[in-house]
Chain A
Amino acid sequence: MKKHKLLYFLLLAIMVFISACGQGTQKTASNEAASSDKPKETAQQSEQPKNNGDAGNKAQETVKIGAILPYSGVYASLGENLTKGMELYFESVNWQAGGKKIELIKEDEENDPQASLRKFRKLVDQDKIDILTGTVSTAVAYALRDEVNSKQVPYLVAHAGGDDLTRSKRSDYIWRSSFNSWQIGTSMGQYAYGHIAKKVYLAAADYAFGKEVSKAFKKAFTDAGGEIVGEVYPPLGSNDYASYLTQIKSAKPEAVYSFFAGSDAVRFVKQYEQYGLKGKITLIGSGWLNAEDIRPATGNSGEGVVSTMFWDYGMQTPENKAFVDAYEKKYNSRPSIESVEGYDAARMIVEVFNNLKGDTSDKKKVSDEFGKVSFASPRGPLKLDPETHHVIQNLHVFKTVIKDGKTENEFVETVGEFKDPGK
């Protein structure tokens, strides 16, 4: 009996362990798990000027870019795709910017704020990087924020989408080229009322990003005159959506707006069909619901999904075609949303270096230069807002259709340009 007590104890200890770290084990595409744990003290932002590394930089013949991205664990594939996108662009400019050679130093984000802080210090103190980029996890981006700010390292956020990074946590040195929750949710909220449904049910993964997206959708949709007939927030990484789907069905909405990504998205879309909702209640959501890496698994269940996103594989602009061709030629696989994010971030960094002719001695000047960059990206016209430091971009509507027995996303229309209000 004593031994069994020990076993019970071990069992409980392990359960606590798995449920604590297991939440992150499912592959939730773009969407930074647990971004809710924001650092509380933002007050102590000591702005003492530090000029470590400045002297060295002037003499350098290279510009150094530090990238903190997930190369292991849950988000590894996102990190890989972001890197592939970046390297594709650097290759297209021969790894040259502002007359200097580009050096990309990669560090593993490990989906761990503390580990990432260590990596960041290493990049700054040892490698003496000129610019920081990366982070998929919003929690990591928030953790880096204060030190980036106090060490005055220009930082271009290439993925993490939490609203506050360019709102209450805005920094002179931090810019974001990817997206935020507000852009994703608001775009569909505005589009859905006029084009899809008047009564919508909300279903989103229960964590900071999912909550932010649905809040943005809800505001835009109800402002337009729509009605939310119910909402449900299943835990991140739910196995089974059966009970939620039964509930949604009995509420009889005209459409369901959902935010799920990765394995959650696949399960939700699959079970949506299994429970007979497909074809009767339109499924709308963010582009992660019918992204390139999701659709092979969802198969024909994904037919009819309508989403808003800043980019999709099927966009027929010359810039996108060129990007897709180059990407497929180099990697022999389709680019994902993250590939484009990497490609655009790399281009912004290169343009900043070019404009400064490779002179990175004044960090503030390097950072401010991001506000002047604008170009036609594969996703459309792209620029950064000098006021909020957040990307201004078009959001588009895509619909999943079946072509030759396989699903493809069809471009429907552009909803408009989205500029974050900054609050």
Chain B
Amino acid sequence: MDVIGIQLVNGLSYGLLLFMITSGLSLIFGIMGVLNLAHASLYMVGAYLALAITHYTIQNFLLALIVAPLLVGLISVLLEVFLLRPTYHLGHLSQVLLTFGLAYVIHDIVRWMWGADVQWLPLPDWLGGAVELFGQTFPLYRLVVMGIGFGVAAAMWILQEKTRWGAIVRAGLSNKEMVGGLGINIKLVFTVVFAVGGFLAGFGGVAAGPILGLFPGMEFEILILSLVILVVGGLGSILGTLIASLIIGVVDTFGKVLFPQLSLFIIFGLMAVVLIVKPTGLLGKQVHGNG
């Protein structure tokens, strides 16, 4: 029983980590209709920037947790303005190919700058401890990540549901022309959304650094899970993404315990079932128009 309890916590903390990374992807996909396959690369860049910060400058993990994602957000703005914006009229296929190519370019740049060896983000001592949970040792940091994950979810929900900015974004999700016609600068909205997405990716990268480690290639491992979560959760729904992340985290954890050889297969199986039963994902909305 204790073991089941601790495995459940394992699954939830992994799921919330995945949520932090996927929420930005989901936001961009839902609002802009852009499937940004370089999103996980931004996650990797965030982790490596945090490494540079903690190693060479201020050596403060918490500061890196804020500064690195901000830098990633800035990089995303540049990407959106100079690379993506000219492709909006070209359609999904070109955007997908562009961002996928970009993912490989970033992969090589990171490899060139930081090398191929595995690295690790160090945690401050007070975060590196362990707590007793269900009579088992559990890393304190994973609990903190869970808390942060829920915090991010709550902040995004409030932002989207309770503020004017959220209203614009939601309106943009249903009908872009209409929002543009109301005199709102839709280009600016897109850039902001992209920056927020990049920030979230970078944030997830820094948060994951002390758990999963850093190396070129880490981004593709996460990308595949993020895409699964995106499909399972449904487009443009933060709540859907959250629920899907938790489900995938828990299913993955128990899958590993019960059928270790099939764990990835189980996740894809789950995705297939969701696609058959509810093609729009668990909480996905039917989006019409030029979404």
Q: Is B218 interfacial (CB 8 A cutoff)?
A: yes
Q: In the complex the two chains form, what is the Cα distance from A237 to B215 in whole Å?
A: 12
| Chain A residue contacts of B117, Cβ below 8 A | 27, 77, 293, 296-297
| Chain B residue contacts of A15, Cβ below 8 A | 224, 227-228
- A8, A26, A235, A297: which contacts B217 (Cβ < 8 A)? A26
Q: B286, A1: Cβ atoms under 8 Å?
A: yes
Query: If the complex has contacts A26-B217, A27-B118, are A243 and B257 also in contact, measured as CB distance less than 8 A?
Result: yes
Query: If the complex has contacts A10-B96, A243-B256, are A299 and B230 also in contact, measured as CB distance less than 8 A?
Result: no
Q: B264, A11: Cβ atoms under 8 Å?
A: no
Q: B230, A11: Cβ atoms under 8 Å?
A: yes
Q: Is the interface of B mostly helix, strand, loop or mixed?
A: helix
Q: In the complex the two chains form, what is the Cα distance from A5 to B150 in whole Å?
A: 31
Which A residue's beta carbon lies closest to that of B281? A8
Q: Is A18 interfacial (CB 8 A cutoff)?
A: yes
Interface residues of B in 277-291 (CB under 8 A from A): 279, 286-288, 290-291
- B138, B213, B253: which contacts A267 (Cβ < 8 A)? B213
Q: What is the size, in residues, of chain A's interface with B at 8 Å between Cβ atoms?
A: 51
Q: Is B237 interfacial (CB 8 A cutoff)?
A: no
Q: B256, A244: Cβ atoms under 8 Å?
A: yes
Q: What is the size, in residues, of chain B's interface with A at 8 Å between Cβ atoms?
A: 62
Query: If the complex has contacts A19-B224, A250-B3, are A25 and B263 also in contact, measured as CB distance less than 8 A?
Result: no
Query: If the complex has contacts A14-B96, A243-B253, A275-B137, are A266 and B118 also in contact, measured as CB distance less than 8 A?
Result: yes
Which B residue's beta carbon lies closest to that of A294? B118
Q: In the complex the two chains form, what is the Cα distance from A27 to B213 in whole Å?
A: 12
- Binary flags per residue of B98-112, CB closer than 8 Å to A gives 1, else 0: 001000000000000
Q: Is A22 interfacial (CB 8 A cutoff)?
A: yes
Q: A11, B291: Cβ atoms under 8 Å?
A: no
Q: A206, B224: Cβ atoms under 8 Å?
A: no
- A4, A14, A270, A276: which contacts B213 (Cβ < 8 A)? A270
Q: Is B261 interfacial (CB 8 A cutoff)?
A: yes
Q: B256, A234: Cβ atoms under 8 Å?
A: yes
Q: A206, B261: Cβ atoms under 8 Å?
A: yes
- B119, B216, B222, B264: which contacts A235 (Cβ < 8 A)? B264
Q: In the complex the two chains form, what is the Cα distance from A233 to B96 in whole Å?
A: 35
Query: If the complex has contacts A246-B10, A275-B139, A297-B118, are A25 and B35 also in contact, measured as CB distance less than 8 A?
Result: no
Q: Is A114 interfacial (CB 8 A cutoff)?
A: no
Interface residues of A in 242-294 (CB under 8 A from B): 242-244, 246-247, 249-250, 262-263, 266-267, 270-271, 274-276, 293-294
Q: B227, A299: Cβ atoms under 8 Å?
A: no
Q: In the complex the two chains form, what is the Cα distance from A19 to B265 in whole Å?
A: 11
Which of B137, B231, B253 counts the most A-chain CB atoms under 10 A from its CB?
B137
B114 to chain A, nearest CB (A): 12
Q: In the complex the two chains form, what is the Cα distance from A173 to B222 in whole Å?
A: 43
Binding site for A on B (CB under 8 A): 3, 6-7, 10-11, 13-14, 33, 35, 37, 91-93, 96, 100, 115-120, 122, 130, 136-139, 141-142, 211-213, 215-218, 220-224, 227-228, 230-231, 235, 253-254, 256-257, 260-261, 263-264, 268, 275, 279, 286-288, 290-291
Q: Which are the 9 A-B pairs with shortest beta-carbon distances?
A: A276-B137, A25-B217, A274-B139, A242-B10, A266-B118, A22-B220, A243-B253, A263-B118, A243-B256
23 contacts between A and B (CB under 8 A): A6-B92, A7-B35, A8-B275, A10-B35, A11-B230, A19-B224, A19-B264, A22-B223, A26-B217, A27-B117, A76-B116, A77-B116, A206-B261, A234-B256, A239-B222, A240-B211, A243-B10, A243-B254, A244-B257, A250-B136, A275-B130, A275-B138, A293-B117
